[in-house]
Amino acid sequence: MLTPLLIGAAVGLVLGLTGAGGSLFAVPLLMLGLGLATGEATGLALGAVAVSAIWGVVSRLPRKEVVWLPAIVLALSGALFAPAGRWLAVQIPDHLLMLGFVGLVIWVAARMWRQAQREPDSASVTRARVGGAVATGEQPLCQFSDSGRMELRPTCLMGVLLGGAITGILSGLFGVGGGFIIVPLLVLLTGLSMGAAVATSLAVIAVVSTSGFASYLWFGAAVNYELLLWLSGGGVLGMIAGSLLAQRLAGPKLQRLFVFMMLILTACALWLQWRAV
- Each residue's pLDDT tens digit, 180-201: 778 888 887 787 887 888 899 9
pLDDT of the residue at 124? 38
pTM above 0.85, yes or no: no
pLDDT of the residue at 240? 93
pLDDT of the residue at 131? 43
pLDDT classification of 231: cutoffs 50, 70, 90: very high
Segment 219-241 mean pLDDT? 90
Contact call for residues 23 and 210 (beta carbons, < 8 A): no
pLDDT of the residue at 5? 93
> Where are the extended beta strands (E) located within 18-96?
none
pLDDT of the residue at 239? 93
For the chain, domain boundaries: 2-276
Contact call for residues 160 and 142 (beta carbons, < 8 A): yes
CA atoms within 13 A on the CB side of 147: 3
pLDDT of the residue at 150? 74
Beta bridge partners of 150: 144
Amino acid at 218: W
Answer whether residue 56 shows pLDDT above 80.
Answer: yes
Amino acid at 61: L
CA distance 261 to 25: 10
Average pLDDT, the chain: 78
Q: Across 44-48, 244-248, 260-264, which has the greatest mean pLDDT?
A: 44-48
Segment 256-265 mean pLDDT? 75
- Each residue's pLDDT tens digit, 40-52: 887 888 889 889 9
CA distance 151 to 78: 21
Using alpha carbons, select from 13, 39, 41, 20 the residue that is nearest to residue 29: 41
Number of H helices, E strands in the chain: 10, 0
- Each residue's pLDDT tens digit, 122-133: 433 333 344 444
Specify the higher pLDDT residue, 95 or 159.
159
Q: Across 89-103, 121-135, 162-176, 232-246, which has the greatest mean pLDDT?
A: 232-246
Answer whether residue 148 shows pLDDT above 60.
Answer: yes
